[in-house]
Structure 1
C-alpha cells in the first residue's frame, strides 16, 4: 500500500525500529487489544517493562537509559504503535514526551537521576497534569494553585482527562504560583494526592484515563522543576507529544486501509468481490492518497525536527491535517466493511472511535486552525 515507496527513504536503523515495533505490536497487542477495548482496560504494568526493554520509553531523549533515537525513528515507532491502538501509542507518548521530557529538559540533576532511569525501563510510570475540569484549551487560566509555606509548597486543585493517571508513580503537575506557572514533580504516594480512574468512555477504552486531585499536597522545594517558569514549560511538552501524534495517526489510518482492502478483496456481492467495483476502488484510492500524504507530512516534519528547524505552527499543521485525514480514512473504511465495520472483529470501529479523542486532545482542531491563522496573518485570534 506504500504507493509512493515512502519507507524506502528510511535508514536501515529506522527500518529496524519499524520492524521491531510492528512485530512486538503484532505479537503482544493485536491479539488482545479488542478484548481490552471491550472491557475498558489497559495492562499498563504488564506492558511498561516490555516497552522499556525495547527502548521505546523516552526513546527520543538522551542519557539516563534513554535510547537517544532520532525524530524519524521516534515517529516510526509511534506509527507502528498506533497501528495497533491509539491507547498504546498514548501510553508511550505520555510517558516519554509529557512526563519524562519535562524532567529531562527542565528538571534538576537529582530529579533526573531519581526518575528518568526508572521511567525509561518501565519500572516507574508517569503522567502529565495540565488540563482541568473547566480549563482545557486555555491553560493560562488554570485554577490549580501552589503557594509557598516556609521552605515547602502547598498544592490545591484538580486535573482531568489524564492518561496513565491512576497507574502513575509520579505526576508532572502544572500550577499557578505568585511567580508564574511552575511544574512540580509529585510522587503518587504523596498525602493529599489521588487519581481516580474515569470510566464509561466510548473512545480510547484500551487506555487508562483519570482525574487528579490535589488536596493540600505538601511538597519540598526540590519538587519544583527549576528550569522553566510560565506556559513555555507545558506547551513545549505538548509540542513533543503532538509530534508523536501526527506520526501515530498515520498508523491508525493505515490499519483501517489494510482492513478495508483485505475485506474488499474477499467480500462478494453480485457474484464478484466488491473490490472490483469502481465505487469501492475510488474509495480505496482516495484512502491510500490520504495515508500517503499524511506520511509525507510526517516525514518532512521529522526532517525539520532533526535539523532543529521545526516550529510550533508546523506541528499544528501536522496534527490538524493528519488526524483529520486519519478520521476520514477510518470512516470510509467503515463504509466498505458495511455492518461488519461496527464489530470488534475488525479494527476499524476501534480506530474510528479512538481518533475522535485524538482529534481533540493535545489541541482541538479549532486551536490548531487558529495557530495556523496567526502564522498566516500575524494576528492573534485567541484573545
Structure 2
C-alpha cells in the first residue's frame, strides 16, 4: 500500500517564491514519488530519473547562489523543501540532502574556474553527487582517515577505501576527503573525483534494514588518477571543508527526519479516525488520542528547532551547536513517532500492507548518519563546556 499524500503543513515562508517552491515540491511528491515509493523500496530500485526531474525543476540547487547556477534560496526554505520530499519518500529526501552536501565543497571553497566548469551540471541534476568521508576504520573520528592521494606531476593518485557512501557506485562525482600529507587533520585535502574514473570501483551495496532504493556501498580507490586541478581549496584544507559541510548536512538530516515523522503521524491519524472498536473510532479513546498529541507536539518542536538553526545559518551566525541539537532531537523524534505509528495501527502496523513499518525501519538510520546521536551529544556538550 502506498502512503497517503502528506497533509499540507502550515508554514512560515519568507516570500511568494518560497510558497511557489513548496507548492511545486508537493505536486512532484504526489505525481513522481508517492505512486512508486513502496514498490521501488521493496524491489531495491534506485530511482535515478527522479533526481533528474528534481534537477530540471530547480530543486537540487536551492541553497546555492544564483551566480553559480543555484536557486539563491535561504536555508530555511531549502530545508522545508527537503522535509516535503522526505515525507513522500525518505530515499529521495535524504538523497537530495547528500547531493547538496556533495556540492558544498566546490560551491564554497572552489575557485571561480572550477565552479564555472563543474557546478552547472551538478546543480542542474545532470550530475548526481556523493560525499566520501567515512572509512571502514574511521567514521566519527574523521581525522584518522587513511585513504591517500599522492601528488605525481599534474595528477593525484588515490589509494584506499571509503565506506557507507550514499549513491556509492551510482554517483557521477565524489567529493572525496583524502590524506595528502601528515597524520591528523592538517594532512587532509578535498578532491573532486569523477564517477567514471579508471580504477575506481564500488563493492556490492550493503543489505540494509531500510532505504533499499538508496544504494550504500564501499568505494575502492586502486590507483585512481585525478587531475590536480580537481583539488578543491588548498592542500591541508580538507578537514575544514568537511566540517563546514557536515554542519549544514546535519540540518538536512533533521529536516528529513521531521518529514518522515510527519508522514507517519498523518497515517496514524487517518487510521485512528476510521478504525472502529466498541462502536466508535479508536481516536476517541483517551490513551490513543494522547499518543497522537505527543507525536504531533514532538514534530512541531523538531520543526521549530531545525528552522531556528537554519535562520542562524542564513544570518551568518554560528550554528554548529544548533545543528547538532536539531539533528539529535529531530531524528530521535522520528524514531519515537514512527514506532508509535506502528503501535496505533496495531497488527496492521506490523505488516507491509501499510507503510508504517517501512517508516519505522527507515527512521533508525537517521539516528546514525552524519554523525551518530551520541556524537551529537558530544558536540553539544563541548560547546557548552568550552564556550
- TM-score category of the 2 structures, normalised to the smaller one: over 0.9
Shift of the 10–276 alpha-carbon distance from structure 1 to 2, 3 Å rule, reads farther
1:165 lines up with 2:168 in the alignment:
yes
| Most deviating of 109-118 and 272-281 | 109-118
Q: Which residue of 2 aligns with 1:207?
A: 214
1:84 aligns with one of 74, 88, 105: 88
State the partner residue of 2:19: 15
Change (3 A) 1:186 1:230: closer
Alpha-carbon contact 1:154-1:219 (below 8 Å) kept:
yes
Instruction: Give the SS at the match of 2:60.
Output: coil
1:129 paired residue number: 132
The answer to whether the 8 Å contact 1:255/1:347 transfers is no
Match of 2:112 among 92, 109, 112: 109
How far apart are residue 9 of structure 1 and its match?
Answer: 5.5
4+ residue runs of structure 1 moved beyond 6 angstroms? none
CA distance in 2, matches of 1:197, 1:357: 19
Q: How does 1:130-149 map to 2 (within 5 A)?
A: 130-149=133-152
Asked if the contact 2:154–2:228 (Cα under 8 Å) also holds between the matched residues in 1, the reply is: yes
Distance 2:123 2:13 in 1: 28
Q: 1:61: how far off?
A: 0.4
Structure 2 gaps, min length 5: 1-5
State the match for 1:308 in structure 2: 316
- Structure 2 residue corresponding to 1:280, chosen from 285, 288, 312: 288
Measured on the aligned residues, the alpha-carbon RMSD in Å equals 1.8
Aligned residues: 374
- Provide TM-score, normalisation by structure 1: 0.93
How many Å apart are 1:349 and its aligned residue?
A: 1.7
Does the 8 Å CA contact 1:58/1:100 hold for their aligned counterparts? Answer: no
CA distance in 1 between counterparts of 2:195 and 2:381 reads 40
> Which of the residues 353, 363, 369 maps onto 2:361?
353
What is the aligned partner in structure 1 of residue 375 from structure 2?
Answer: 367
Q: State TM-score, norm by structure 2.
A: 0.92
In 1, Cα distance between equivalents of 2:128 and 2:203: 16
Structure 2 counterpart SS, 1:166 = coil
1:253 maps to 261
Stretches of structure 1 that go unaligned for 5 or more consecutive residues are none
| Contact 1:266/1:273, CA 8 A, preserved across alignment | yes
Q: CA deviation at 1:200?
A: 2.1
Aligned to 2:76: 72
Could you say what secondary structure the match of 2:121 adopts?
A: helix
